[in-house]
Amino acid sequence: MGAKNSKFSVLIVAAGKGTRMKSMLPKSLQPLAGQPIIAHILQTAEKLSPSKVGIVVSEKNGLLEKQVRANIKNWSLKNNIEFIVQYKADGTASAVKCASSFLKKHKKVLILCGDTPLLESNTLLNFKKDFCKHQPACSILTFDNKNPHGYGRIVKDKKGNVLEIVEENHATDEIKKINEVNSGVYIFDIPSLLSVLGKIKKKGKKQEYYLTDAIELLNKKTLAKHVIASKLKQGEGASSTFKQAMGINSKKQLAEAEKILRHKILDKLMASGVTIVDPDSTYIDANTKIGKDTIIQPNVYITNSKIGKNCIVKMGCYIVDSKVANKVELGPYAHLRPQSDIRNNAKIGNFSEIKKSIIGEGSKVPHLSYVGDSVLGKKVNVGAGAITANYDGKNKYKTIIGDNVFVGSNVNLIAPVKVNSGAKIGAGSTITEDVSKNSLAIARTRQIEKKP
């Protein structure tokens, strides 16, 4: 929203009980494409450069504050977030009311729901533009929904003026037929909002205060066109309206959102030149970057990682918090655990697991290995089944392997240990001492034969 629009603030309401989620974890902390729902919302909010972001959380959501704070270290928003506690989760209007003193410091507020993470920043910027053009007391972001069940319906008069929003539980059969629904996103002129907030009465089985009732109240204040609906257009942003504006109330909707977001991420990657063989079985999160002409085969899962150009990630790989350079071959069924750093032209093959290790340029760990807390130089070959034993039950130790080392099959490298460059280790050896440069180390018992 830029410095000159610094009067705009953002308020995220995220203090609901999340009853329909049937989870111990607050709704906004449910994981979606590799990060909590709220992180997606804050990343979108960040792109709007608001003057300040308020997040309404419940008392129990101390966890939410902690998680958000842990997530925002590198964000421009980080000094601009204020947490507001709603002690009793008795409705969206009540959540906003809790933020009164936050609101009083600003002139306009964009209200976002803590369970609507798919909205794109461009959509919100257009929404804001529309508000600025018409200067109403309130603008509601609405969308047409084939299956409007569960959403507040936008009731309009014959001329198309917004009259009120009617929630599912209070809708007549006639109103239930309305397909234009409330996305839960609004921009309010703050003095107008504050003038009606106190007048909202609790209602329904749950005796909640609905923010949506502010609309009718604002309309009653004057006959002028006070509330407008800004309808999300089909195809606005990168995807259809439902795919942006859906709210996540249940685990089923969480899975729906996951699918939508996953396909958006994959579409972007494909548009940038990545080959995704089977988008339906590929899971890549929003924090992963992949270079051109890298091929991702089916059933691959990648989160928070960077993969370079011209790599091939074969069937069944699982990659977390790792870095992969260019022309690397992974899999089938390779597991890169956090802080794996795989350099150019390296190969991590069938059922090999790497953790917190550097695998140098051109090095190969092709079959059934475990490499943890290690640094491998260039052109190292790790034979089938060879492992680093990095853990003694209490502490973890490092294994250092120099350039051009050949580790035979089924070798145990008992860390801490160093194998200097050019050395060879005979198959089946258990290496407990450092191995010097260019030497051959064998540490196994000699074969004996017993006569029958």
Active site residues: 367
Residues 301-340 close enough to bind Ca ion by CB under 5 A? none
Task: Read off the tokens for 334.
Answer: 């390779």
Nearer to ligand UD1, 46 or 90 (CB): 90
- Shortest CB 317 distance to Ca ion, Å: 35
Interface segment toward ligand UD1; rule CB under 6 A; list 181-189, 273-281, 354-362, 383-391? 181-189
Nearer to ligand UD1, 145 or 352 (CB): 145
- Shortest CB 64 distance to ligand UD1, Å: 10
What Cα–Cα distance (Å) separates residue 384 from each residue in 290, 360, 374, 427, 430?
Answer: 29, 18, 17, 9, 14
Name the binder of 16 from ligand UD1, Ca ion, none, CB < 5-8 A by kind.
Answer: ligand UD1
- Shortest CB 246 distance to ligand UD1, Å: 7
Q: Nearest-CA neighbor of 334 among 312, 321, 309, 351?
A: 351
Distance, in Å, from the CA atom of 410 to the CA atom of 29, rounded to the nearest integer, reads: 43
Site string for ligand UD1, 94-133 (x = CB under 6 A): xx-----------------xxxx-----------------
- Shortest CB 21 distance to Ca ion, Å: 10
Nearer to ligand UD1, 14 or 365 (CB): 14
Helix (H, G, I), strand (E, B) or coil at 196: helix
CA neighbours closer than 13 Å in the CB half-sphere of residue 434: 9
Residues 130-169 close enough to bind ligand UD1 by CB under 6 A? 151-152, 165, 167
Nearer to ligand UD1, 149 or 446 (CB): 149
Which residue's C-beta sits nearest to Ca ion?
A: 247
- Shortest CB 219 distance to Ca ion, Å: 24
Distance, in Å, from the CA atom of 188 to the CA atom of 165, rounded to the nearest integer, reads: 15
Q: Is residue 249 involved in binding ligand UD1 (CB under 6 A)? A: yes
Contacts of 82 (CB under 8 A, 6+ apart): 52, 53, 54, 55, 102
- Shortest CB 153 distance to ligand UD1, Å: 8
Total residues in contact with Ca ion, by rule CB under 5 A: 3
**From 18, 247, 372, 408, residue interacting with Ca ion (rule: CB under 5 A):** 247
Name the binder of 210 from ligand UD1, Ca ion, none, CB < 5-8 A by kind.
Answer: ligand UD1
Phi, psi of 164 (to 5 degrees): -160, 170
Distance, in Å, from the CA atom of 305 to the CA atom of 319, rounded to the nearest integer, reads: 7
Which residue's C-beta sits nearest to ligand UD1?
A: 152
Cβ 389 vs Cβ 414: under 8 Å: yes
Distance, in Å, from the CA atom of 271 to the CA atom of 317, rounded to the nearest integer, reads: 22
Q: Quick one: the chain helix, strand, coil %, rounded to 5?
A: 25, 30, 45
Q: What dihedral do alpha carbons 22, 28, 29, 35 form, nearest 10°? A: 130
- Shortest CB 116 distance to Ca ion, Å: 7
Q: What dihedral do alpha carbons 363, 366, 372, 376 form, nearest 10°? A: -10
Distance, in Å, from the CA atom of 265 to the CA atom of 32, rounded to the nearest integer, reads: 12
Name the binder of 291 from ligand UD1, Ca ion, none, CB < 5-8 A by kind.
Answer: none
Nearer to Ca ion, 54 or 152 (CB): 152
Interface segment toward ligand UD1; rule CB under 6 A; list 207-215, 328-336, 361-369, 393-401? 207-215
Task: Read off the tokens for 375.
Answer: 């640094």
Cβ 378 vs Cβ 396: under 8 Å: no
Site string for ligand UD1, 47-76 (x = CB under 6 A): ---------x--------------------
Residues 15-44 close enough to bind ligand UD1 by CB under 6 A? 15-16, 27
Phi, psi of 303 (to 5 degrees): -135, 140
Strand runs labelled E in 49-152: 53-58, 81-86, 108-113, 138-144
Cα 94 vs. chain centroid, distance in angstroms? 28
Interface segment toward ligand UD1; rule CB under 6 A; list 12-20, 191-199, 279-287, 366-374? 12-20
Site string for ligand UD1, 386-415 (x = CB under 6 A): ------------------------------
Strand runs labelled E in 379-433: 381-382, 387-389, 399-401, 406-407, 412-414, 417-419, 424-425, 430-431
Name the binder of 152 from ligand UD1, Ca ion, none, CB < 5-8 A by kind.
Answer: ligand UD1
**From 1, 119, 211, 307, residue interacting with ligand UD1 (rule: CB under 6 A):** 211
Residues 120-139 close enough to bind Ca ion by CB under 5 A? none
Binding residues for ligand UD1, rule: CB under 6 A, are 13-16, 27, 56, 86, 89-92, 94-95, 113-116, 151-152, 165, 167, 181-184, 210-212, 247, 249
Binding residues for Ca ion, rule: CB under 5 A, are 115, 247, 249
